[in-house]
Chains A and B, each alone.
Chain A
Amino acid sequence: MSLIGELFGKSPFGPLVEHAKKVNECVKLVRPLLEACVREDWEGIHRLQDAVTKLEYEADVVKHEIRDHLTRRYFLPVAREDLDRYLHSQDEIADSAQDFAVVLILRNTKIHPELVQEFSDFVDQIVLVSETLTNAAQEMDLLAETSFGGAEADSVLKKISGLGEGEWKADRMQRKLGQHIYRLEKELDPITISFYEKMLRSLSGIANAAENTGDMLRAMIVKS
């Protein structure tokens, strides 16, 4: 009834911070998953996969809430399409982390001892790229406070400036790891190789999604 009561819609930027936090927690479980796989702790992998699935679901719930409140009647400080694509990309990070966990529980795949160090380094790089993004993303409420401009926007842009290079490094590590796997093909059975492929694909999916999210975030800031 009162005009002023109807005027304010729910800001999506607080929930976006929450979404980034949930995605970050998903990705934090990737390293433990790899370590459990190396130790051949198949029970541990199942527990971790449950945890990742639950976190990914919670992130989805936040995502749906944001989408529910973003009807066309509301005017936003950033372009709606940019916000949608950003949210979609950020959600893909969590999806890829969950894919990795699912790959590990489908089959008790042992990691060849010669590959352990490279897998570990690859996972470290992936997690670094993702955390760079989610740390910047968790300042979304501060960005909204400064209307996506000024010193805060510069600071966030600086934080995500390394994403492109980080993702390129991850790609390079993935290629090297792939080549190493095929050098060992006589010692590995084909299904194991196929599962290594699935693992690599889901892991690099995390880094790719993180880099895309960073691009969308940059678009939101720069266009303001």
Chain B
Amino acid sequence: MSGAVKILSGNTFVVSDDSGDIEASLTDPTGLFSFDTRFLSKWVLTIDGQRLNPLSVDDLQYFETRFFLVPGTGTVYIDAKLSVIRQRAVGDGFHEDLTILNHDDKPVDLEVRLEAACDFADLFEVKDDLKKKGEYYTSIDDGRLVLGYRRETYVRETWVSATEACAVDEGGLTFAVHVEPHEQWATELSVAIGRDVRGTAAERPEHERRGHKAGSDMALSLEKWLDEAPSLDCDWDPLKRTYRRSLVDLAALRFSPVMLPGHHLPAAGLPWFMTMFGRDSIFTSLQALPFASDLARTTLAALGLWQGARHDDFRDEDPGRILHEMRFGEMTAFEERPHSPYYGSVDATPLYVVLLDEYERWTGDAKLVRALERQARAALAWIDDYANLQGNGYIAYQRRNEKTGLENQCWKDSWDSISYRDGRLPGFPRATCELQGYAYDAKVRGARLARLVWKDPAYADRLDKEAADLKRRFNRDFWVEDGEYFAIALEPDGSQVDALASNNGHLLWSGIIDESKAKAVAGHLMSPAMYSGWGVRTLAEGQGRYNPIGYHVGAIWPFDNSFIAWGLRRYGFKEEAARIAAGILDAAELFEGRLPEAFGGYERALTKYPVQYPTSCSPQAWSTGAPLLFLRTMLGLEPIGEHLVVDPALPQGIGRLELLDIPGRWGRRDAFGRSRVAVGSPPRRDAQLGVIEPGATKA
């Protein structure tokens, strides 16, 4: 997708080439997508039969782009006397202002043509290269081109129209254009989601059919979003850029579920994952809590609404389980895929309780905690009643949907992510270590809420007791004596799956690790086998399956690192946490403020530049949230009672860091950080943070 231009609004997005054209093949994620369905797969502009050549692309906003074009392709401009501007904004479909300028002294007559077609592919089909089962139709209705697809009662349509007079045929629109010397001609093109699950566009209320008003409404909404977030000042400029990029991308990834119009939660990532994911929405909401707690509120409400209540093998659903993924495309509609929603995630359920508690600690919103008491109790009950698949009291996973369900139901969900030191793969059910940490944290936090908000001290005592018992057993059963770290998982027979992986950092975050073992764990995370200089690798160098560009077996995930840094701070390893923040923030600068999902685990000294993982999503919500969580850990922000405690520990290259108007139960508060490390010379502006200065000691 190099050269691809992406704009989006909610879960509607357009991916085109840099002249604004779309020519999608079935396996190619270009086109107009809405609710996981492609609504336009061909959109090609020609003038007198010629394609146009891009001069420049202006990304005006995440939902709006302007393309400057001239006729003719190739290296020599055939006619530079004309220029063409396409300005496109995404709303319910997209809207395009097409302007042709005649720079000549003579008038011109042109045939302007827009070819349009649609394959109505489900995103799953695009990913997996599958064939359609229904029938296509096209018609010309009231001057607009209708592209349609029908399979039984499933009907989807795209409506293409223009404000200027044109000839409409089944393949597109043709304009006979006359432009006087030094004059211009313009038309407004509309590509509307003509018919979807909400019915036809004509039946939809005006505000949903935003059309050309989308741009200004969304600009206002983005401005408000940025205004409400804390403001940041810092003597290391790249952080300011990364912070702003993160806020804007997070705004772009806000998504309104079809059944909860008007409410926003973070979708997982563009282009494959513009939908609700339990795990991703929860992690991103946690990262963003000090900046935009609304995301957490909506995530908790929406995930609570869809909480599992039944036994359903196809969807891997149990009572109390929090969903993994929701999809809206054709394959979900015909139950060929289980995503309506699919529940095959084992961490989202304990993390739901973790988020609820963390949300209350920041916001003081006890009302929501009361409203979601039943859901939180059901989630806590699920841990013991349905996830104890090994029968030993540990939370574990094994899919019941063998055909289309997920094999690995933890965040490291690729087939080879959980392994032994020597590379062997364990059996099922699998109890990965970080899950035990989440379960422990959920019980401790559930106990706090039970005592404080639900006024059920007996329940609180029980949860505390279970948590303490879990912690005791965990530190005995998962601890790899000869390596001094925690095994990545337990086999069904209770034996250790002994690979050294970044999951250890999540264990620090959850608080399940005995104080006496924390130093060894932190030492591993910062060792050359795990810390590359950019960040902590998902799997340590030297393990059997280690591969620096292996998705979960060596690549570095910014999101993972943000939680590892939080964990290090929790156990008092302030400088180690700052070093992790420094490496990832340096990488962010090199990615122009937008961290990818993952990048290569190569040694920093070797590559000088973080190598992006080949097929990763960008922007991706929990990567976007990572710099926000690093700000929290660098400043040491912690809500204690009604107060916000600030305890900064900054990387060496940042002399001053200010985060102003941090919202929370205290109203608004400012946090200031100054470099605690005495340095001989003032820090160089824009120097990289994580480079070890000559003579500096390496931890």
- Judge: A and B partners, yes or no: no
A-binding residues in B (CB < 8 A): none
